Chain A
């Protein structure tokens, strides 16, 4: 190792703080921590910004009786699950059995939202797979879906008696969700007396 001038050597080698050489390692470990956490997260998942906020207003016709309109005000006082579905949606097919089960258990009213679908297709689909819905609303244009922040199908929203969205299920509902998420949430709402 070169040492051009002995007189300078002492001041050079007395590096102020060996610790600063540890900084890169430290920064890397922090970053690695985030990457590790990232492996267990889904970057494509968009959480709802409407949780614990009032559900958007809507006034939609029903599938089986287009003259009948249902609005948000009409749902007041009831705790209900809004399930966004469509006959063209593959994942909705799998989810449907879970919805049928929830309907059978009778723990919560399920209102369907037939999203960007043809009425005839929707009816046929329900005839085929069963109808767990207390009512089926029709959102032909998708505008109500947008108001709810829907970005894929299926999605479901748990809404309490005061019209506040308490939970959003992004993607299909699975059997474990009933016991692990839906029922606890329903109890929570009941406990609050809403």
Chain B
């Protein structure tokens, strides 16, 4: 059953790819800045059919339909939030590439913060333990041993380098 569903969706996807898609090129804008802004908005929205493309890039028919809707709202001077709300109220948060900051996504935004804090904590503890200067005094005997070892090692250095 699951396989069939997958095949069905892939089939849908292929079929919708065939149908002539309206590229972004058909829309008119006041100026470059507006065009850029529209593009940026549609780049943040996820295409629901080709789920790995943004609304700006996707050739799927649903994508061009949604672009048309977004463009209509855009021309009505609706704010970006209102347009986003239009889409989210129909398709859910999934449609946004940038997850919104609301209680259900706190985990997503605070998770990294939490990780950073852990990292900072580990760093401070590691530095603290490693940088404490605990040079222990060597005894006489140890100092002699150390001297002997160093001399011995120096001889080794000369022959091997």
Residues of A with Cβ closer than 8 Å to B?
5, 7-8, 11, 42, 44, 46-50, 88-91, 116, 141-143, 146-149, 151-153, 171-172, 174
What DSSP secondary structure best describes chain B's contact surface?
helix
What DSSP secondary structure best describes chain A's contact surface?
loop
How many angstroms between the C-alpha atoms of A3 and B66 in the bound complex? 69
Contacts of A142 in B (CB 8 A): 62, 65
Contact, CB under 8 Å: A49 / B136: no
How many angstroms between the C-alpha atoms of A172 and B5 in the bound complex? 8
Contact, CB under 8 Å: B90 / A148: yes
B: number of interface residues (CB 8 Å)? 25
- Besides the known contacts A149-B91, A172-B8, 13 further A-B residue pairs in the complex with CB atoms under 8 A apart: A5-B136, A42-B5, A50-B90, A89-B15, A90-B11, A116-B61, A146-B66, A146-B69, A146-B90, A149-B90, A151-B48, A152-B48, A153-B12
15 contacts between A and B (CB under 8 A): A8-B136, A44-B51, A49-B88, A49-B89, A50-B90, A88-B15, A89-B12, A91-B11, A116-B65, A143-B65, A148-B90, A149-B90, A149-B92, A152-B49, A152-B62
Residues of B with Cβ closer than 8 Å to A?
1-2, 5-6, 8-9, 11-12, 15, 48-49, 51, 61-62, 65-66, 69, 88-92, 94, 134, 136
Given A44-B51, A50-B90, decide whether A90 and B65 contact each other with a Cβ distance below 8 A: no
Q: Which of B51, B69, B90, B92 has the most CB of A within 10 A?
A: B90
